[in-house]
Structure 1
Amino acid sequence: MKSLLFINGIPPKQLPEMSGYQIIACTDGAFHYLKEMNFPFEKLDFISGDFDSHSGKDETVYDQKFIYTPDQNKTDFQKALEILEEKGIQELHVFGGSGGEMDHFLGNLSVAYLFKEKLKITFYDEFSTYFFSPKNLALDNVKDKMISLYPFPTTENLTTKGLEWQLNKENLNIQTRIGTRNQAIENHVEITFEKGELIIFLHH
């Protein structure tokens, strides 16, 4: 099952195609920008959060779609992921995960890391698509696209094929060496590593 989730970062410039998703949801912060974008709320399955940004007056028409998640020890993004996991979602596309306050962006990456074995999470923004990479990754139709390889915090024995600056069983470390701003010189790119975590940023 696949889901579409909007969270409270920079809104997409336009709404994505919404066919093919079994569940469409948003956090309460994203609810505000979706209203401004004339989002078709009949397509929305739930809105989750602590609702600290809501007046409780003009949103009453959507009350039946609210899921109240007051736990202040977790972010609204994490609580939404827990709900989606309970509903049986395996794949998730996230909009609004970056931009704005950068501590939120880094926090969203950390939350995605917690769920990476349970959910296949892909973030989308106006600059790139990004996700935690499996240890063996193949990308197609990417020639001339910029691809950044970011260790989280380390990636060991990393090998690439099809990139301008190839890596051959090399290590990346957030403190000493990262792999941003590489370029695909082939349509088909392969990325493999043995240990650690790696975030792929595929620039538009």
Structure 2
Amino acid sequence: MKDKVLLFINGDPPKSFPNPENYGLIACTDGAFHYLKNRGFPLDKLDFISGDFDSHCGTDEEVYQEKFILTLDQDKTDFHKGLEIILERGFSNVDVFGGSGGEQDHFLGNLTVAYTFKDRMNISFYDEFSEYYFIPNRFTLKGVKNKMISLYPFPSADHITTTGLNWPLTDGNLSITSRIGTRNFAVEDEVTVEYESGSLLFFVGINEIEYPKIY
């Protein structure tokens, strides 16, 4: 995992932090710096702190001054600008914490930013409920039996076929204006998804759940 980046942004803080030693680069936006400091994250592990610093203040500012990257472009979010820096540093695999929660326009904005980078980066979001990411046209995930699975079109995806789900799709279409594929669940250990066109967000629940099986 040393080729991966750990990025904290300014949504709900994670209940627990992943091991920093598993990452080749660790960064945060200026708003996330607050909760990292307050929750005892080892700030010396941060490689950079980016943003316009409208959210940042505190007595630690001078100590970490050399790690600040000021990004003033107001046409882009701090998340977007952080991803640009990560790309410039040669990384393309990013685990994001703090992408959801808080004000929901931020959450939708974060998904939109990830969509704009999906052909250049592998971005995975993590929160207390699930992990989620854009998937390629042919996708397989193992170890998911009895976990919640959602397929969310962004904004549409066509000719979708799945295996391993309680409510499968066979050459189906999804669109945010007609039909979405949320709140399904895996009845097999392995789930596969294939689709011809469009974009799909794939959500997998953190914990196993008990759903009544419908055949």
TM superposition score normalised by structure 2: 0.93
- Is residue 154–residue 199 contact of structure 2 (8 Å, CA) maintained in 1? yes
Aligned match of 1:108: 110
State the Cα RMSD in Å.
Answer: 0.9
Structure 1 stretches of 4+ with a deviation exceeding 4 A read: none
Taking the aligned partners of 2:92 and 2:102, their CA distance within structure 1 comes to 28
Q: 1:164 aligns with which of 163, 166, 188?
A: 166
Aligned match of 2:133: 131
Q: Secondary structure at the match of 2:33?
A: helix
Taking the aligned partners of 1:122 and 1:58, their CA distance within structure 2 comes to 29
Taking the aligned partners of 1:192 and 1:58, their CA distance within structure 2 comes to 48
Aligned match of 1:55: 57
CA displacement at 1:16 relative to structure 2: 1.2
The number of equivalent residue pairs is 204
Please, which runs of 5 or more residues in structure 1 have no aligned partner?
none
The alignment status of 1:153 with 2:155, answered yes or no, reads: yes
Q: 2:35 aligns with which of 27, 33, 36?
A: 33
Taking the aligned partners of 2:46 and 2:60, their CA distance within structure 1 comes to 17
Taking the aligned partners of 2:76 and 2:6, their CA distance within structure 1 comes to 20
Taking the aligned partners of 1:121 and 1:131, their CA distance within structure 2 comes to 6
Taking the aligned partners of 1:56 and 1:20, their CA distance within structure 2 comes to 28
Q: Deviation string for 1:164-200 (max 9, x for gaps)?
A: 0010000001011000011100001100100000001
Aligned match of 1:66: 68
Percent identical pairs in the alignment equals: 60
Q: 1:92 aligns with which of 86, 91, 94?
A: 94
TM superposition score normalised by structure 1: 0.98
Q: Secondary structure at the match of 1:196?
A: strand
Please, which runs of 5 or more residues in structure 2 have no aligned partner?
207-215
Q: Secondary structure at the match of 1:61?
A: coil
Amino acid at match of 1:195: S
Q: 2:143 aligns with which of 141, 144, 148?
A: 141
CA displacement at 1:42 relative to structure 2: 1.3
Amino acid at match of 1:44: L
CA displacement at 1:56 relative to structure 2: 6.3
Amino acid at match of 1:119: M
